[in-house]
Amino acid sequence: MKKQSETAAKRSSAPAASILVVEDEKKISALIRKGLEEEGYSVQEAADGEKGEQMAKNGSFDLLLLDIMLPKQDGIQLLAALRAAGNDTPVLMLTAKGTVEDRVKGLDTGADDYLVKPFAITELLARVRSLLRRKKGAERAATTLSIADLTLDLVARKVFRGGKAIDLTSKEFALLELFLRNKNKTLSRSTITEHIWNYNFDTGTNIIDVYINHLRAKIDGGFDRKLLQTIRGVGYVLKENP
């Protein structure tokens, strides 16, 4: 324990990346954990596919190391469940030698990289560093949100539709950002008020509808394709297809 904390402390003051290792072979899992902890990463382990899925969904990991052959459900099923739930944590698959099909399946399911067993711990560490770097780069790049030909730039605080700049008030901008972060999801009036105004209006008020109508006129006015739609009795949705 002492050695680990010293190594971690020697590194930068940035919080250590947190990694989930899903591997049923105890020896391999322990070896991976030791290697990662010596590099200052924070490590958690799951020894079967169900536990792994549960931990990956409930925790906030920077990276998953995922074995394919696992009890209860295999790594491919686990990965498919994660991606279906919208979880895009980078995944490094660990595969047995010679199973090309598994590797292809893994990559098709959404794995970011794979490593064939047996592997050298130094190679594993190199892949881990590379995936974490890629993740950081992607996070920096994610400063715009878009749907169809509509783009919202979070940094410049500008909105464009079909290349044409659209002027929004700060409330309209916040509303559009909320819809873009929840594309294709119907948002109720109360969800919208809670997010934008942080409190609930009297139920009788139509202020949300007024704001939505202003926003709609600005982003959909003059365009054939209407993005912001009313779901009668439920709320509103920003959708690509009517």
In the bound state with Ca ion, the residue whose beta carbon lies nearer, of 74 and 112, is 74
Cβ at position 31, least distance to Ca ion in Å: 13
In the bound state with Ca ion, the residue whose beta carbon lies nearer, of 24 and 38, is 24
Q: Which of residues 179-218 bind Ca ion (CB under 5 A)?
A: none
- Report yes or no: 208 and 192 within 8 Å, Cβ to Cβ: yes
In the bound state with Ca ion, the residue whose beta carbon lies nearer, of 24 and 149, is 24
**What residues are paired with 153 via a beta bridge?**
144, 158
DSSP letters for 98-151: T-HHHHHHHHHHT-SEEEESS--HHHHHHHHHHHHHHHHHHHHH--EEEETTEE
Structure tokens at 188: 């109720």
- Report yes or no: 75 and 107 within 8 Å, Cβ to Cβ: no
Q: How far apart are CA 64 and CA 106, in angstroms?
A: 13
Cβ at position 136, least distance to Ca ion in Å: 29
- Report yes or no: 175 and 196 within 8 Å, Cβ to Cβ: yes
Q: Residue 69, interface with Ca ion (CB under 5 A)?
A: yes
Cβ at position 206, least distance to Ca ion in Å: 58
Only segment of 32-40, 62-70, 119-127, 219-227 that touches Ca ion (CB under 5 A): 62-70
Q: Which of residues 1-60 bind Ca ion (CB under 5 A)?
A: 24
Residue nearest to Ca ion (CB): 69
Cβ at position 93, least distance to Ca ion in Å: 11
Reduced DSSP (H G I as helix, E B as strand, rest coil) percent helix, strand, coil of the chain, to 5: 45, 20, 35
Among 67, 102, 112, 177, binds Ca ion (CB under 5 A): 67
Cβ at position 78, least distance to Ca ion in Å: 12
Chain residues that interact with Ca ion, rule: CB under 5 A: 24, 67, 69
